[in-house]
């Protein structure tokens, strides 16, 4: 089976968002079979086109993050552009936008106007802080809502500053919630009889998406009076669980949190008496004495090279992994066997490796998506469905409407 037979086949999404979080929502839906049309300004000045990595003048982030989408250009701020947009939106199920709160309203594209033209339209509004509240009109970036959600406060060494990872994780997580929200709204709408179907407006705050991941922290603070803090790579809620260095300089993450696993870890370390030591006999006790047990595990890991350590841990069924770089990911036999990375075909750069479609639907094989589109590459095809011919397209292009 091809991607057209994936679960969201037949769904059409117009993505007029910029950079990463909201566009990632529509990309994920495209992976699931939806037809996604990417709308940009005629200048093609989406900031993602300038973000590293850039190879020979080509933005790899754009090509991979916006994979599988058709590309059109349109300036909805102009009267002709607004009118064309309202004609266009009649044929879509979902609109994805991430402008500052109130921006579309100011352009005459408020929700009432959109629903007058298409009552079934689902509108995803993904912003840093949501559509209401005192911060609603503030600009949002991944590192801002990572910090504001409390996420960044947990990252880093105990004695050091909070740290961000070298990737816009907040954007990716918000995008996941966006795709989930779109699928949820579609399930609700499509469960109704066709004549009764009505669209909805989704207010997704990226800050709240990050906060949603931190399930027990608010309760922990209320009942303990202490805010969870940074502990480096050591888990503060279970032990032992940390990143350890091997004798040959590799890094390994190891989890010995449950009591049965800890017993097996003690056997692997040839220190079975640790399992009955009162300090370490339960996870609660090990967490109280996490420094002591962590030092013991770290010393053992540092005494063995990676290959010997791996063999010992595998033999005793202790969960662990070498900390992979992307180079390791590309060479891992399990990930290669599952085709966890695919090759996007790009007319300018050739094959571009990228993550495969996730999740998999058994018995169906998704097609390989195209790379992110050039600005306006599908103008003729998309606007042609509205009866806009070549001469009109040329005129609109000269006026910078498209």
Structural domain tally of the chain? 2
Please indicate, yes or no, whether residues 124 and 174 belong to a single structural domain of this protein.
Answer: yes
How large is the average pLDDT for residues 206-215? 97
Would 11 be classed as within a structural domain? yes
What's the pLDDT tens digit per position in 266-314? 999 999 999 999 999 999 999 999 999 999 999 999 999 999 999 999 9
Phi-psi region of 280 (alpha: psi -120 to 50; beta: other; left: phi over 0): alpha
Q: Identify the CATH number of the domain in which residue 274 sits.
A: 3.30.1540.10
The answer to whether residue 234 sits within a structural domain is no
Indicate whether 65 and 143 sit together in one domain. yes
Catalytic, out of 31, 46, 171, 294:
171
Rounded Cα distance, 359 and 171, in Å: 19
**Catalytic annotation on 110?**
no
Query: 4-13, 206-215, 328-337, 345-354: lowest mean pLDDT where?
Result: 4-13
Q: Is the pLDDT of residue 402 over 60?
A: yes
Residues 49 and 176 in one domain: yes
Structure tokens at 165: 């990872």
Predicted local confidence at residue 227, as pLDDT: 96
Average pLDDT of span 142-163: 96
Helices in 164-289 by DSSP H: which ranges?
169-190, 206-212, 217-224, 259-268, 283-288
Q: Provide mean pLDDT across the span 26-52.
A: 95
Last residue of a domain, one of 295, 322, 349: 322
Q: Are residues 43 and 157 in the same domain?
A: yes
164 shares a domain with 85: yes
Measured CA to CA, the distance from residue 154 to residue 1 in angstroms comes to 43
Q: Do residues 120 and 193 share a domain? A: yes
What is the structure's pLDDT at 358?
95
Question: What average pLDDT does the segment 343-371 reach?
Answer: 94
Residue 330 within any structural domain of the chain: no
Band the pLDDT of 325: cuts 50, 70, 90: very high
Domain limits for position 66: 3-213+338-398
Model pTM? 0.94
Residue 3 has pLDDT above 90, yes or no: no
Residue 4 has pLDDT above 70, yes or no: no
Examine the pLDDT at 183 and tell me if it is beyond 50. Answer: yes
CATH of the domain at 79: 3.40.50.10540
β-bridge pairing 35-40 and 122-127: unpaired
Residue bearing the bigger pLDDT, 250 or 45: 250
| 185 and 271 share one domain | no
**151 Cβ contact partners less than 8 Å away, ≥ 6 residues apart:** 169, 170, 210, 211, 213, 214
Q: Are residues 367 and 270 in the same domain?
A: no
Give yes or no: residues 254 and 198 share one domain. Answer: no
């Amino acid at each position: 089976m091809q991607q057209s037979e994936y679960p969201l086949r037949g769904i059409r999404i117009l993505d007029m968002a910029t950079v990463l979080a909201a566009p990632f929502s529509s990309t994920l839906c495209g992976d699931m079979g939806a037809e996604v049309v990417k709308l940009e300004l005629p200048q093609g000045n989406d900031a993602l086109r300038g973000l590293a990595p850039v190879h020979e003048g080509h933005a790899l982030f754009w090509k991979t993050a916006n994979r599988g989408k058709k590309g059109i250009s349109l300036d909805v701020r102009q009267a002709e552009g607004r009118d064309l947009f309202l004609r266009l939106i009649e044929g879509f199920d979902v609109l994805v936008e991430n402008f500052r709160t109130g921006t579309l309203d100011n352009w005459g594209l408020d929700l009432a106007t959109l629903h007058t033209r298409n009552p079934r339209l689902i509108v995803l509004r993904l912003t840093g802080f949501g559509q209401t509240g005192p911060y609603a009109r503030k600009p949002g970036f991944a590192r801002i809502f990572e910090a504001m959600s409390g996420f960044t406060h947990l990252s880093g060494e105990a004695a050091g500053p909070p740290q961000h990872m070298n990737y816009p994780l907040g954007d990716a997580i918000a995008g996941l919630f966006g795709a989930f929200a779109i699928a949820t709204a579609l399930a609700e709408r499509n469960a109704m009889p066709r004549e009764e179907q009505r669209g909805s407006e989704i207010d997704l705050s990226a800050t709240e998406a990050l906060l949603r991941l931190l399930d027990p922290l608010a309760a922990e603070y209320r009942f303990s009076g202490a805010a969870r803090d940074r502990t480096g790579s050591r888990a503060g809620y279970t032990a032992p669980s940390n990143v350890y260095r091997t004798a040959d300089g590799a890094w390994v993450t190891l989890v010995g949190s449950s009591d049965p696993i800890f017993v097996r870890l003690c056997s692997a370390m040839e220190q079975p008496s640790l399992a009955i030591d009162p300090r370490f006999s339960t996870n609660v006790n090990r967490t109280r004495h996490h420094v002591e047990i962590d030092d013991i595990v770290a010393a053992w890991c540092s005494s063995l090279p990676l290959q010997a350590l791996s063999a010992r841990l595998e033999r005793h069924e202790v969960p662990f992994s070498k900390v992979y770089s992307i180079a390791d990911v590309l060479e891992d036999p399990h990930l290669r066997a599952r085709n966890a990375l695919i090759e996007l075909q790009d007319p300018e750069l050739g094959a571009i490796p990228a993550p495969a479609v996730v999740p998999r639907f058994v018995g169906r094989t998704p097609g390989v998506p195209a790379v992110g589109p050039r600005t306006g590459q599908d103008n003729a095809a998309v606007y042609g469905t509205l009866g806009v011919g070549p001469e009109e397209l040329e005129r609109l292009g000269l006026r910078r409407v498209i």
